[in-house]
Structure 1
């Protein structure tokens, strides 16, 4: 399976030829540079898989930048 990594404006998209290659790239890339990750099917159709790879880097929405640290949210009281 092939993947296309879309990055911030002015940067070219990258094509990864395997999931292993994609995971290796995500380990070494600053997450704020990634705007979307798309799976490329054999027929040319693409599908966003950003939610699947969010733990490895990147942000859920285009344009969302890091705030510096993660903030934990307490559970809802009963």
Structure 2
């Protein structure tokens, strides 16, 4: 998976969750505490969120980002 594919897939998940919660992009901007319009830029692919902003974005959507081991990985 390329970086752009990973980013696109992750952003789609954030966007879907925002839709499920009935939030607008400005709502998310306000919850995260970022400049108005930044969430829209992330969702349109014009900007990439920093890791910390992605964490805050997940929190604002009632989610968390966590690392999980793959089931097919050996110890």
Q: Which has the higher strand share?
A: 1
Q: TM-score, normalised by structure 2?
A: 0.30
Structure of larger gyration radius? 1
Relative to its length, the structure with more helix (as a share) is: 2
- Superposition TM-score, scaled by structure 1 size: 0.30
